[in-house]
């Protein structure tokens, strides 16, 4: 596809912001934006990350696309309030990384959670009859405890995913795997600590990262335009930009109000929890 304004793009910086949990929707949006950026021949990309991480596969696909893009343009990542676990992983796809001194980052590791409702089901008198093709087909079933062999299988799965994470960080940051494992135990740390550990390259704001991307691409930081590849908004969001909506429960006298953006964020999180139950996650869970 030939873009009519590609000349403008070649003198500008593309910007993508990744916020919230990383899942299928975030992956689809970011990959589509990266394709547009490549076709329009931007010389640099500013990747703003404000995410606690998310699913393993989606994080890996974003990382892989960013690494491929490095052959065609400069990629600088800016860590915001939080860039942890899968947020760190996709950041490894950038050529250079900048974080605020107080950014919460790290949480390099894997977590898998399942629900055991066996005692609750016993209390209400509900049981399940299961016919399966093999002993592990219903692993992580919510109506029973894990067996020891199942625990070993899941731990091996976690260990393999963890090894992939460690190798990627080591390769991207020029560190040994042993060095990465010394701080990749799930702990979180600040941007300042991340600089000392070699996880990021510099400390600074998003604007500092933008200027750095411009310099790397041979652009004037004071003149280079930053073009934002924003998430596509719904019709309702476009009709009501910037408004703060609230819902009042049980009449005005209840004093209970909910912000619609906060409510939507909560519902999105609950949906993420539902759809990722039993999956290995690169996610910081405070």
pLDDT in tens, 208-246: 999 999 999 999 999 999 999 987 655 444 444 444 455
**pLDDT surpassing 70 at residue 254:** no
Quote the mean pLDDT of the chain: 87
Q: Between 279 and 198, whose confidence is greater?
A: 198
Q: What is the pTM of this model?
A: 0.85
Question: Which one of 28, 72, 132, 137 is the catalytic residue?
Answer: 137
Contacts of residue 15, defined as CB under 8 A and 6 or more positions apart, other chains included, come to: 45, 46, 47, 48, 210, 226, 227, 228, 229
Place of tokens 């908004």: 233
Whether 127 is a known active-site residue: answer no
pLDDT at 238: 45
Q: What is the pLDDT of residues 97-153, one digit of tens each?
A: 999 999 999 999 999 987 777 788 778 888 888 888 999 898 888 878 889 999 999
- Return d(Cα 79, Cα 99) in angstroms, integer: 5
* Assigned token pair, 49: 């990350």
Handedness of CA 79, 85, 90, 92 (dihedral sign): positive
Q: What percent of the chain has pLDDT over 70?
A: 85
Give me the mean pLDDT over the 261-276 stretch: 70
| pLDDT at site 235 | 47
- E strand segments, the chain: 12-19, 44-51, 53-55, 74-84, 96-99, 104-106, 188-190, 202-203, 225-228, 246-248, 257-259, 281-283
Better-scored residue on pLDDT, 8 or 238: 8
Does the 6-112+165-283 domain belong in CATH 3.40.50.720? no
The yes-or-no verdict on residue 255 having pLDDT over 80 is no
Identify the pLDDT of residue 272.
75
Closest residue by Cα to residue 140 from 159, 164, 130, 162? 130
CA proximity to 88, closest of 283, 280, 231, 276: 283
Average pLDDT score over residue span 183-187: 97
**pLDDT above 90: percentage of residues in the chain:** 66
Residue 109 CB: number of other CB atoms within 10 A? 20
Q: What pLDDT, on the 0 to 100 scale, is given for residue 278?
A: 76
Pairing mode, strands 74-84 and 44-51: parallel
Which of 12, 51, 85, 107 is catalytic? The answer is: 85
User: Per-residue confidence at 5, pLDDT binned at 50, 70, 90?
Assistant: low
Q: What confidence score (pLDDT) does residue 237 get? A: 45
158 has a pLDDT exceeding 80 = yes
Q: Would you call 48 helix, strand, or coil by DSSP?
A: strand
pLDDT of 25 higher than 50? yes
The tokens for 36 are 């547009």
79 within 8 A of 49, measured Cβ to Cβ: yes
Between CA 75 and CA 217 the distance in angstroms is 9
- Known active-site residue 137: yes
* Chain position carrying tokens 């919460």: 104
Total residues belonging to the chain: 286
Residue among 228, 223, 214 at smallest CA distance from 74: 214
**What confidence tier does 22 reach under pLDDT thresholds 50, 70, 90?**
very high
Q: Which helix (H) or strand (E) holds 252?
A: none
Collapse the DSSP code of 190 into the 3-class scheme (helix H, G, I; strand E, B; otherwise coil) and give the result.
Answer: strand
At which residue do the structure tokens 């070699």 appear?
Answer: 198
């Amino acid at each position: 596809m030939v873009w009519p304004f590609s000349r403008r793009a070649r003198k500008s910086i593309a910007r993508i912001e990744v916020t919230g949990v990383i899942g299928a929707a975030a992956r689809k949006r970011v990959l589509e934006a990266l394709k547009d950026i490549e076709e329009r021949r931007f010389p640099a990309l500013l990747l703003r990350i404000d995410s606690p991480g998310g699913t393993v596969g989606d994080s890996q696909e974003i990382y892989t696309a960013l690494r491929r893009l490095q052959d065609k343009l400069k990629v600088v990542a800016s860590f915001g309030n939080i860039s942890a676990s899968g947020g760190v992983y996709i950041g490894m796809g950038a050529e250079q990384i900048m974080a605020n001194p107080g950014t919460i980052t790290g949480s390099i590791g894997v977590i898998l959670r399942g629900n055991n409702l066996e005692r609750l089901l016993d209390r209400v008198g509900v049981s399940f009859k299961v016919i399966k093709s093999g002993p592990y087909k219903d692993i992580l079933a919510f109506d029973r405890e894990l067996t020891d062999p199942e625990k070993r299988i899941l731990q091996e799965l976690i260990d393999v995913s963890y090894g992939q994470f460690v190798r990627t960080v080591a390769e991207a940051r020029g560190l040994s795997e042993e060095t990465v494992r010394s701080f990749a135990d799930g702990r979180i740390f600040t941007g300042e600590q991340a600089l000392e550990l070699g996880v990021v390259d510099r400390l600074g704001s998003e604007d500092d990262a933008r200027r750095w991307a411009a310099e790397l691409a041979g652009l004037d930081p004071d003149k280079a335009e930053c073009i934002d590849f924003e998430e596509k908004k719904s019709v309702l969001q476009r009709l009501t930009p910037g408004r703060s909506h609230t819902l009042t429960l049980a009449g005005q006298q209840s004093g209970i109000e909910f912000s619609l953006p906060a409510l939507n964020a909560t519902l999105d999180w609950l949906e993420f929890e539902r759809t990722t139950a039993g999956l290995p996650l690169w996610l910081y869970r405070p």
